[in-house]
Amino acid sequence: MKKTAVLILFCLISAFVLPVCVFYARGGSANDNEIAEKLRMSENISVFFHNENKTVSMPIEEYLCGVVCAEMPASFEYEALKAQAVAARSYARYKQNEINAQHPEASVCTDYTHCKAYKALEENEKSWGKDSEKYRAKIENAIIETQGEVITYNGEVALAVFHSQSGGGRTENSADVWGGNVPYLVSVESHGEEASPGFYSDVTVPFENFKNTIISLNPKASLTSSNDIGQIVKSEGGAVKTIQIGGQEFSGKEIRSAFGLRSSCFTISSEGDNIRFEVTGYGHGVGMSQYGANAMAKEGCDYREILKHYYSGIEIECV
Ligand SMILES: [Zn+2]
């Protein structure tokens, strides 16, 4: 009789208590099937998986799970993750209205150097380790709680570009980085990023290599010593807009790309036979700074305040 009672108690615990514990450990507000169903309840987007060379049509909210995972650490503040979800959704929706020359059959690709990074939730779970369930729920809920929301400007979906860290205490004007004028991508203050990983970096290049690279960019450059490195014009965001080298003008973006710098926010100096770049920040500097968004969230700002700070004059709505 006593054995039967113990058995019944064990079955009750297994049937009711354990699933509840697992559920709350995941931090979710709905069960897994409900979450999966909600993520599937969206229009499809065509995604070119560049590593596998194939195009897949998938629900946009499912695609966003992979983008948010790849683009922002899941350990970030929840409101920063929600801001990231809305920015990534806006970017994807904007791209759906364009024909892309590099992958005409797909709206977006998974190559971060071209569109946005993508890493499936399942792949992330290996690196998340013991936090896997918690982080998965955090990402999924950030997407579900902002489901369908995009950033608009004058009623049109905005090209909500973003970057990791602003190097000069401000974001960049899109006009200074890519030319053209996008009214919602203008320079705004961005703070709280100096302590983030990789904010400060440096690259040292032997002078001869520096010279050869510069000449490969522009054969008219005449370069015999570091004295031939001249005036720098900075952008409003603090990046190098143009720099005179060997009598020729180069953009900060060209120099960043040629020497593999983490951003165009750099100083340049000579050290013996070497040229040294000291760099702050990471990325192109336009739109939302991800580490800046996290700093704002830590100060108590919600995702709407974060987005309205980084994208000037926008609305957040379902369209
Ligand atoms: Zn692409």
Question: What confidence tens digit (pLDDT) does each residue in 203-214 have?
Answer: 999 999 999 999
Judged by average pLDDT, the poorest of 17-21, 197-201, 241-245, 261-265 is: 17-21
Q: Which residue has the higher pLDDT, 121 or 47?
A: 47
Which of 105, 288, 74 is CA-nearest to residue 187?
288
Sole residue written with tokens 């700002």: 301
Q: How far is the CA of 161 from the centre of ligand 1 (A)?
A: 13
Dihedral of the alpha carbons of 176, 182, 184, 187, in degrees to the nearest 10: 10
pLDDT attached to residue 170: 97
* Residue % of the chain over a pLDDT of 90: 77
Q: Is the pLDDT of residue 200 over 70?
A: yes
- Cα(45) to ligand 1 centroid in Å equals 13
When pLDDT is cut at 50, 70 and 90, the band that residue 77 belongs to is very high
- In the reported structure, the alpha carbon of residue 238 is separated from the centroid of ligand 1 by a whole-number distance in angstroms of 28
Q: Measured in angstroms, how far is the CA atom of residue 106 from the centroid of ligand 1? A: 8
Q: Which residues surround ligand 1, an ion (CB under 5 A)?
A: 109, 114-115
**Spatial contact of 289 and 310, defined as CB atoms under 8 Å apart:** yes
% of the chain exceeding 70 in pLDDT: 90
pLDDT per residue as tens digits for the range 160-179: 999 999 999 999 999 999 99
Q: In whole angstroms, what is the distance from residue 282 CA to residue 260 CA?
A: 11
The pLDDT of residue 32 = 75
Distance CA 285, CA 272 (A): 31
**Half-sphere exposure (Cβ direction) of 2: Cα atoms closer than 13 Å:** 0
Q: Is residue 6 over pLDDT 90? A: no
Tell me, what's the pLDDT at 124? Answer: 85
Q: How far is the CA of 43 from the centre of ligand 1 (A)?
A: 19
Report pLDDT for 35: 77
Select from 101, 96, 188 the least CA-distant residue to 150. 96
Average pLDDT for 303-309 = 98
Å from CA of 265 to ligand 1 middle = 25
Q: What is the mean pLDDT of residues 95-117?
A: 91
What was the pLDDT predicted at 5?
54
Task: Please write the tens of the pLDDT for every residue from 272-292.
Answer: 899 999 999 999 999 999 999
Cα 95 to ligand 1 centroid, rounded to whole Å: 9
Task: Report the separation in Å between the CA atom of 115 and the middle of ligand 1, taken as the mean of its atom positions.
Answer: 4
Q: Is 286 helix (H, G, I), strand (E, B) or coil?
A: strand
Ligand 1 centre to CA of 111 (Å) is 6
Q: Could you please report the per-residue DSSP string of 86-144? A: HHHHHHHHHHHTS--SSSTT-SEES-TTTS-----HHHHHHHHGGGHHHHHHHHHHHHH
Please tell me the distance between residue 182's alpha carbon and the centre of ligand 1 in angstroms.
20
Cα 69 to ligand 1 centroid, rounded to whole Å: 18
The Å distance, Cα 286 to ligand 1 centre, comes to 18
Query: Residue 4's pLDDT band (boundaries 50, 70, 90)?
Result: low
- pLDDT exceeds cutoff 70 at 61: yes
Residue 12 has pLDDT above 70, yes or no: no
21-35, 73-87, 165-179, range with the lowest pLDDT: 21-35
Residue 12 structure tokens: 């009750």
Q: How many Å is the maximal CA-CA distance in the chain?
A: 97
Q: Which pTM was predicted?
A: 0.85
Quote the pLDDT of residue 18.
41
Distances (CA, A) of 83 to 54, 67, 187: 29, 13, 18
How many A from CA of 93 to the centre of ligand 1? 13
Kindly state the average pLDDT of the residues 290-312: 98
CA of 65 to the centre of ligand 1 (A): 17
Which pLDDT score, from 0 to 100, does residue 3 have? 55
Distance 100 CA to ligand 1 centre (A): 7
- Residue 33 Cα, ligand 1 centroid: separation in angstroms? 31
